[in-house]
Structure 1
Amino acid sequence: MVEKPTEGGGTEAQAKDACLRLLAARARSRYELESRLAQKGFTPDVAAVVLDRLAVANLVDDAAFAEQWVHSRHTYSGKGKQALSRELRTKGVSNEDAVAALDQIDAEDERERAAELVQKRCRTLMLPDPSHPDARSERDKIVRKLVGMLARRGYSQGMAFGVVKSELDRAGADTEDFDGSDLG
């Protein structure tokens, strides 16, 4: 049986091939695939039929996609839960699937990953000599940089500040007078 192109789009076979090419590069959410098919001119009906078939074949599974995305982005990119939640929303993952995937990262995992990021960044920073007259000001600049780095990666301000203070203490910086209130 030869498929005829539908009005304003391609065939189901062409849509399936397009999806398989996209999935060969990386896992994708159903929403991402629907969007790409729409950009390529496939009708919503053709896209729905193809995506339903791919879902039955377990090639499109938003819950599995969300788990894989969270694991990968947390482990390799150092993303915090807030950033991962935003990313999953933009990928069209349901709140239920996103919450289930984000639950695989507990507070201790997130704190450990944040500490690793700060430790890595501290290797390239020069911590000020506590006896230097501008030591406090220089230390505060470093703290702002590190807290900002963690915030951009989706870590809460409280966690970021706690991790930075702890890592600077460990590195020998003077943080006794530091409460973070003057970082604003």
Structure 2
Amino acid sequence: MGTDSEEVARAVALRLLNHSARSRAQLAEAMAAKDVPSEVAEAVLDRFTEVGLIDDDEYARMLVRTRHAERGLSRRAIGVELRRRGIDDEVAASALDEVDDAQEAQAARALVRRRLAATRGLDPQVRARRTFAALGRKGYSPGLVSQLVRDELAAEGAELEDEDLPAVD
């Protein structure tokens, strides 16, 4: 039987993993909050990794898939979330490679269309500004958003002047 610290570490990890997948760093943080000594936490985390209960590579890929498909987040925004969850930069980069430029542009275009449809009837400048802000919050580049907003408004027959859109660096 293990030490009390090992039991606490296992209980913390199993409780958290029972609710949803977690990164190794998130589990280590939770164990530290319960005063589990770092060497005990590392040993338990190593064992959980060894038996496949912790897999940061798969966790990162799953996060990229769900955040991109369900929330329409850009690779940049997902990358920030991965770092915040303690995913190594190399692992994050590999997972983010699963979303290419074409997929990201397609997701952005779908978001632009939805946002413009929701603001139909308003002044084109207001619609463009609101759409630009919404996609900016999801991490899309200003240049891509500007082009997509122009294209979609032009398809509706609305024209925008350069000064009607936020400045793009």
TM-score by length of 1: 0.84
Aligned length: 167
Q: What is the alpha-carbon root mean square deviation over aligned residues?
A: 1.7
**Structure index of larger Rg:** 1
Which structure shows the bigger proportion of residues in helix conformation?
A: 2
For 1:63 and 1:180, the matched residues in 2 are separated by 44
Match among 42, 49, 67 for residue 48 of structure 1: 42
Q: CA deviation at 1:96?
A: 0.6
Determine if the alignment matches structure 1 residue 37 to structure 2 residue 31: yes
1:126 partner amino acid = R
Match among 121, 125, 131 for residue 119 of structure 2: 125
Deviation per CA, 1:46-71, whole angstroms, max 9, x where unpaired?
A: 11011000100111111111111011
For 1:142 and 1:169, the matched residues in 2 are separated by 13
Determine if the alignment matches structure 1 residue 25 to structure 2 residue 13: no
Q: Name structure 2 gaps, 5 residues minimum.
A: none
Q: Name structure 1 gaps, 5 residues minimum.
A: 6-10, 129-137
Match among 67, 91, 104 for residue 61 of structure 2: 67
2:158 partner amino acid = D
Identity %: 33
Secondary structure class of the residue paired with 1:123 = helix
1:120-159 equivalent positions in 2, closer than 5 A = 120-128=114-122, 138-159=123-144
For 1:62 and 1:29, the matched residues in 2 are separated by 5
1:98 partner amino acid = A
Q: CA deviation at 1:29?
A: 0.9
- Runs of 4+ more than 4 Å apart: none
Q: CA deviation at 1:180?
A: 5.4
